[in-house]
């Protein structure tokens, strides 16, 4: 049995509480890094994280890319879309193919 | 190209020939694996982009409702409304094997029997925009989990493809040429030895005939 969590600034993730996700209102990158490390031990399979916060701790998130769990998924917060999520997809393509052959641009 | 540092003997030649065969077979298999992984990966990435676009739109819509709700309700009222969630979501994970990459497959579990049991508040003191926001998020959730599944799969497959590609390249450009070079070297050495032996024998034969018949004195 695995848990699902949402992490980021309070305003962006508050709504997720009502549909049954665990929410962690965190603003500071350092705290987020520590929390994620705890969560990896704690049986979280999916962590939705606001793009704003994710941008700040990108290198930390890269460590979890090749692990089977957790899936850390950046989502846009209330401050809008930074494009990090799509960039992450392109990153996978680049890693696999060598260059981003599927970019729309 | 560097050749291996081995003794030029027939035994080594046989050993290296066997190794070369194995390397060629491995190379072919790995190449097939890489191609198939790549095909599946491209498909998955296309879906990934599509789903991500939808999810991001959905969240943006939900956030709009949330913003309106926040503006018409006091912070306390909003906090109270969302403080104690009724619903709890959890996941069962099974694994699917694609070309030896284990990708996760999620199955969602809800705490309450009715998965639409998402409103953790009475309707008396909250704005209907909050309902809309929660509903929008809830509708979006299936897609978000699908996104999590696909995105993780893509990341795992990308890592595996990178590894496989490296292996294929190492075999193709390092190991196999090295073996070929070594085989050539041993063959040439052996042939050289053979010629040397023949010449030596001819020379010895000449000397022995000379001793028996004293040709050089006769003419």
ipTM over 0.95: no
Give dist(CA B43, CA B11) in Å, integer.
49
Q: How far apart are CA A40 and CA A26, in angstroms?
A: 16
Residue B18 lies in a domain: yes
Q: Which of B134, B151, B156 is the closest to A68 by Cβ? A: B156
Q: Which domain holds residue B137?
A: 10-205
- Name, in order, each residue with C-beta under 8 angstroms of A62's C-beta and a sequence gap of 6 or more: none
Evaluate whether residue B152 is within a structural domain.
Answer: yes
Give a yes or no: residue A87 inside a domain. yes
Distance CA B70, CA B77 (A): 9
What are the tens digits of pLDDT across the range B31-83?
999 999 999 999 999 999 899 989 988 888 888 888 888 888 887 777 777 77
In a mutagenesis test of the A interface, which of B122, B151, B161 is the best target, namely the one with the most A β-carbons within 10 Å? B151
Q: Say if A32 is an interface residue toward chain B (CB within 8 Å).
A: no
CA distance B139 to B145: 11
Name A8's bridge partners: A25
In a domain, B186, yes or no: yes
User: Is B1 inside a domain boundary?
Assistant: no
- Residue of B41, B70, B90 with shortest CB distance to A1: B90
Q: Is residue B145 a contact partner of residue B115, using CB atoms and an 8 Å limit? A: no
Mutate to test the interface with A, among B35, B58, B158, B161 (most CBs of A within 10 A): B158
Would residue A105 count as lying in a domain? no
Dump pLDDT digits (tens) for B94-139.
Answer: 888 888 888 888 888 877 766 666 677 777 777 788 788 888 888 8
Chain B interface mutation, best of A22, A86, A96, A99, highest count of B Cβ atoms under 10 Å: A96
B3 domain-assigned: no
Q: How many domains does chain B have?
A: 1
Residue A103 belongs to some domain of the structure? no
8 Å CB contact between A96 and B161: yes
Of A50, A74, A52, the C-alpha closest to A62 is A74
What pLDDT, on the 0 to 100 scale, is given for residue A104?
A: 62
Is residue B137 included in any domain, yes or no?
A: yes
pLDDT attached to residue B185: 94
Spatial neighbors of A53 by CB under 8 A, at least 6 apart, are A7, A8, A9, A26, A27, A29, A32, A77
Q: What is the pLDDT of residues A9-66, one digit of tens each?
A: 887 887 788 777 888 888 888 888 888 888 888 888 899 998 888 888 888 888 888 8
User: Based on the structure, what is the number of domains in chain A?
Assistant: 1
Q: What is the pTM of this model?
A: 0.83
Task: Write the CATH number for A47.
Answer: 3.40.50.10580
CA distance B193 to chain A (A): 48
Q: What is the CATH number of the domain that holds B71?
A: 1.10.287.3240
The 3-state DSSP class for residue B59 equals: helix
In a domain, A104, yes or no: no
**B70 vs A92: CB contact, 8 Å cut-off?**
no
Both tokens of A72, joined, read: 């850390």
Q: List CB contacts (< 8 A) between B155 and chain A.
A: 65-66, 92
Residue A3 pairs in a beta bridge with: A44, B90
Task: Name the residue range of residue A60's domain.
Answer: 3-97
Chain B contact present for A40, CB below 8 A = no
Is residue B219 in some structural domain? Answer: no
- Residue B2 placed within a domain: no
Who contacts B20 (Cβ-Cβ below 8 Å, separation ≥6)? B176, B179, B180, B183
Strand ranges, E, within chain A: 2-8, 22-25, 44-50, 71-75
**Nearest Cα residue to B151 out of A44, A5, A7, A70:** A70
């Amino acid at each position: 049995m695995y848990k699902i969590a949402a992490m980021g600034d309070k305003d962006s993730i508050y709504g997720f509480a009502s549909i049954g996700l665990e929410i962690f209102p965190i603003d500071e990158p350092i705290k987020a890094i520590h929390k994620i490390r705890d969560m990896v031990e704690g049986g979280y399979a999916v962590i939705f994280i606001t793009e704003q916060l994710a941008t700040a701790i990108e290198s930390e998130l890269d460590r979890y890319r090749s692990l089977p769990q957790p899936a850390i998924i950046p989502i846009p917060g209330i401050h809008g879309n930074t494009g990090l999520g799509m960039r992450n997809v392109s990153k996978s393509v680049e890693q696999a193919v060598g260059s981003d052959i599927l970019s729309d641009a | 190209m560097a050749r291996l540092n081995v003794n030029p003997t027939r035994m080594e030649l046989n050993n290296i020939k066997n190794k070369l065969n194995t390397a060629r077979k491995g190379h072919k298999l790995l190449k097939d694996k890489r191609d198939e992984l790549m095909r599946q990966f491209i498909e998955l990435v296309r879906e990934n982009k599509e789903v991500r676009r939808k999810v991001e739109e959905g969240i943006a819509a939900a956030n709009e409702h949330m913003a309106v709700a926040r503006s018409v309700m006091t912070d306390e009222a909003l906090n109270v409304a969302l403080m104690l969630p009724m619903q709890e979501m959890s996941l069962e994970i099974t694994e699917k094997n694609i070309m030896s990459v284990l990708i996760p497959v999620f199955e969602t579990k809800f705490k309450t029997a009715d998965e639409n049991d998402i409103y953790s508040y009475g309707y008396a003191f909250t704005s209907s925009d909050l309902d809309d926001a929660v509903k929008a998020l809830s509708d979006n959730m299936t897609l978000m989990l699908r996104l999590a599944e696909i995105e993780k799969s893509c990341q795992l497959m990308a890592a595996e493809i990178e590894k496989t590609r490296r292996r294929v390249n190492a075999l193709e450009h390092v190991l196999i040429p090295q073996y070929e070079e070594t085989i050539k070297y041993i063959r040439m050495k052996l042939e050289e030895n053979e010629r040397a032996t023949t010449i030596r024998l001819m020379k010895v034969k000449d000397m022995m005939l000379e001793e028996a018949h004293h040709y050089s004195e006769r003419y």
